[in-house]
């Protein structure tokens, strides 16, 4: 059966049952649960250190009012991080390459930050649509532009994450296919492409971590604007 390069982004199914739910819940199984032991294992210590580091980094742009969002933002960061990294393994499916899932994560959280601002400080939140000192003839056009830029924020979040992960997966598949084809005819060129594939894989690991951080960081910045 002939497969295209984009078949890796289709949601897998078994007996007609979609397996995307398993792909999204599997990262949670990798986290060790807390126990009543006085001395924790190295895995638990590393996990707690990583969670504390992520929480501190995400709370830097927020004041004390935004610290109540620490659990949501940290959980989202860990989920995206594990999902993106697990998607780089062979014969796995990356749910975050689906635009529908990324929009389902971005839109409710963006809407929550917007409603928080409209409830707590409506005048300041609406004031962002019209900067101070704007000439009178430009007021209608500027309000329309600022409103459009505000409404496309969740779309930009979802498209950014989807595009970066999709492009990386396609490059890895293209170069790995070229390496497998050239290994029998031109082994030296195949070795060179394998080296490029190895470096690209390291780059994609970095991209997977950076994109998860950027996604949550932008949400925290949107939250800071509204509190």
3-state SS track over 141-177: HHHHHHHHHHHCHHHHHHHHHHHHHHHHHHHHHHHHH
**Tens digits of per-residue pLDDT, 38-93?**
656 777 778 888 888 888 888 888 888 888 888 899 889 888 988 888 888 877 77
Whether the predicted pLDDT of 135 surpasses 70:
yes
Can you give the residue ranges of every domain in the chain?
14-225
pLDDT at residue 100 is higher than 90: no
Average pLDDT over residues 183-188: 85
Chain centroid, CA 199 distance in Å: 22
Overall average pLDDT of the 212-217 stretch: 92
The answer for residues whose C-beta is within 8 angstroms of residue 22's C-beta and 6 or more apart is none
Is the pLDDT confidence value at 197 over 50? yes
pLDDT reported for residue 203: 92
Quote the pLDDT of residue 1. 38
Mean pLDDT (the chain) is 82
* Structure confidence at residue 35 (pLDDT): 62
Nearest of 188, 212, 1, 218 to residue 88 by alpha carbon: 212
Backbone torsions φ then ψ of 18, nearest 5 degrees? -65, 140
How far apart CA 82 and CA 56 sit, in angstroms, is: 19
pLDDT grade for 142, boundaries at 50, 70 and 90: confident
Cβ distance 226 to 120 under 8 Å? yes
Mean pLDDT in residue range 5-19:
63
Confidence of residue 214 (pLDDT cuts 50, 70, 90): very high
Q: Which residues pair with 17 in a beta bridge?
A: 14
Read off the pLDDT band of 2 (50, 70, 90): very low
Poorest-confidence range of 26-35, 68-77, 94-103, 169-178? 26-35
* Mean pLDDT within 12-27: 66
Using the structure block, give the residue that is written with the tokens 């409209």: 118
């Amino acid at each position: 059966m002939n497969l295209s390069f984009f078949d890796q982004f289709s949601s897998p199914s078994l007996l007609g049952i979609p397996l995307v739910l398993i792909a999204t819940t599997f990262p949670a199984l990798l986290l060790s649960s807390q126990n009543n032991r006085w001395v924790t294992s190295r895995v638990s210590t590393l996990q707690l250190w990583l969670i504390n580091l992520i929480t501190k980094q995400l709370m830097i742009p927020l004041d004390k009012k935004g610290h109540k969002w620490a659990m949501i933002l940290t959980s989202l960061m860990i989920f995206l991080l594990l999902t993106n990294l697990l998607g780089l393994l062979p014969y796995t499916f990356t749910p975050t390459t689906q635009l529908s899932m990324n929009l389902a994560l971005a839109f409710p959280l963006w809407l929550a930050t917007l409603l928080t601002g409209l409830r707590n400080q409506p005048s300041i939140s609406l004031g962002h649509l019209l900067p101070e000192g704007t000439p009178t003839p430009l007021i209608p056009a500027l309000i329309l532009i600022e409103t459009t830029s505000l409404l496309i924020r969740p779309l930009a979040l979802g498209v950014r994450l989807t595009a970066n992960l999709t492009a990386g997966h396609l490059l890895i598949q293209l170069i790995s296919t070229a390496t497998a084809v050239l290994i029998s005819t031109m082994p030296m060129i195949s070795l060179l492409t394998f080296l490029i594939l190895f470096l690209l894989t390291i780059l994609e690991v970095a991209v997977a971590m950076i994109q998860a951080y950027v996604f949550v960081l932008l949400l925290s910045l949107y939250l800071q604007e509204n509190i």
